[in-house]
Amino acid sequence: MKHRIRISALIVAVLIFLMTGCANRTENTSENDKIEVTEEKLTPEYGGTLRLACFVPDTLNPLATEYQNVREVLMIIYEGLFKAESTLKATPVLAESYTVSTSNKIYTIKLKQNVTFHDGSKFDSEDVIATFNYIREFPTPYSKMFENVLSYSAIDSSTVSLELISPQHDFVNNLDFPILPAGLAKESFVSENPDFVPVGTGKFKYENQIRNKYMTCSKAENIHDGKEVYIEQVQVKFLHNSQDIFHAFDAGEIDMFTTNGSNWGEFSFTSGVKSYESGSPRYTYLGINVKNPHLQDAALRRDMNRIINKKAMVEAVIFSHATPAELPIISTAYYNKQKESSQGESAVNTLQTQLPINEEDILEAPVEKNPDFNKYNISLYLLYNSESKEKLRAAQHLKKCMEPYGITLELQGVGFEDYKTRIFEENYDLYIGETIMNNNMNIDFMFNSLQKSEQNLCNFTNDQFDTLLNNIDMMAPESENSEIAYRNFTEYFTQNMPQIPLFHTNTAIFVSNRIKGGTAPSMSFFYSNIEDFFINYH
């Protein structure tokens, strides 16, 4: 069996959203590598070849490839209707604008009319409807999202309408997938199709490939948004695994290297690089079985949230490349008007502030000086995926945080398949969970009992909680009601703690010093701001 990173295999019962999208640019430059001229003083010039890398592709069809990093590089060729920003606002790309019904179920999208595909054909609503059909008919990473789509149609050549089964707030954030031209044959979507020729509307046009070696793209002409890129050409090197890509970057053979956050801390570069960190849909939390008599107590759940030193956890578990979480939804959401006060710190409590920041000192904290120590005398089982070093570190950290308060955690590490089975069967007290959410931060799949599915792993349910979740689904974008609905949800969540948020993991692009300029990517894909980078300058 071939060893692949299959997207479908990654989306399991405990999986599916984002995090803070603030750019955090760091420059790790040694004394010998220091740049004499700061980038602010450089004047960009056109030209140069950007060198990227991805796995040897099964196909260059972005809807059919089973490799995430292949799909990422193909997004320099393709575009979506929208892209999701770190604030969760949707920026139109191939769309001109959109309106949504009062029910938040019917989206009417106006398309840009000055767009052509790289083969010269005109982009219109037929291509959008065809892409919707491709996603519905063939297995793609976006098929799950279309399960909530009741119908769609073209109103005219520049307008499409899409109706949902259940309302979802900011659903257009999910319409960031690549739009392909109409008329593609079924053979274009088979799992192995190395001869597929990608034709999109993006910043770069596919030129050719040398099978199993590299792909070449050139800057597209007449870019419809007017944001012409400085870089003239992109060459994408095909490599066999993540380690090969990392070594090629470290050796200076490629210019950019991306990570989804799952392997933070494994990189040690031999030369200075820049990194652009931004939010991602990857969210880690502590699942709670409220059927356990002890855990039925909301005060205990709140105390557990307070005594977890989330700042130290981020440092120890994910090497500071994450943001401590107080809610499942990222703190940068535009409707979160309390983000600076309520989510700026993870220690919004009195218990946690008495704990030392240094993780190694937690067990040595002076019990007699803290009246809240030994408040409880209970033992709970903590389930985690033993195949993940990150989850082991998280489990060990949680154990250290809880013990001074009389909460003993018995760690139970099991293989991933057993882990999924036990969670589905509710055979745990606590578990370390991880989910990759949709770009609109919809959390119904975790909590809403009215939309129960195999992914709904929270056995805390009641009518009031469902109502609050439904109110979020009904929020009109950027309206006063959206702030009210979110605030009401926040107050209820923090009071009842149906789960304990731990952190939102960052993603990053590592950039060699050969490449200048640049900004953090959007939530939608890594190379969304490729026009900000340049190679030649004076």
Q: Could you identify the residue written with the tokens 């309408």?
A: 161
Q: Is 186 exposed, middle or buried (0-12, 13-18, 19+ CB in 10 A)?
A: exposed
Distance CA(144)–CA(147), nearest Å, equals 5
Host H or E run for residue 92:
strand 90-92
Which residue type sits at 6? R
Q: Is 269 exposed, middle or buried (0-12, 13-18, 19+ CB in 10 A)?
A: middle
Q: What are 298's two structure tokens? A: 């909301």
Q: How many CB atoms lie within 10 A of CB 334?
A: 17
Per-residue pLDDT tens digits of the chain, which is 538 residues long: 434 333 333 333 333 332 333 333 333 333 333 333 456 688 999 999 999 999 999 999 999 999 989 999 999 999 999 999 888 889 999 999 999 998 899 999 999 999 999 999 999 999 999 999 999 999 898 988 898 999 999 999 999 999 999 999 899 999 999 999 999 999 999 888 888 999 999 999 999 999 999 999 999 988 888 888 999 999 999 999 888 998 999 899 999 988 765 555 556 666 678 888 777 788 999 999 999 999 999 999 999 999 999 999 988 888 778 889 999 998 888 888 765 444 333 333 333 333 333 434 333 333 333 445 567 889 999 999 999 988 999 999 999 999 999 999 999 999 999 999 999 889 999 999 998 888 888 888 888 776 655 555 677 888 899 899 999 998 887 777 888 899 999 999 999 999 999 999 888 888 999 999 887 788 888 888 888 899 999 8
Distance of CA 286 to the CA centre of its chain: 18
Q: Could you identify the residue written with the tokens 């799952």?
A: 262
pTM for the model stands at 0.83
Q: State in Å, rounded, how far the first CA of the chain is from the last one.
A: 51
Q: What are 302's two structure tokens? A: 């709140």
| Domains located in the chain, CATH noted | 7-279+507-537 (3.40.190.10), 282-505 (3.10.105.10)
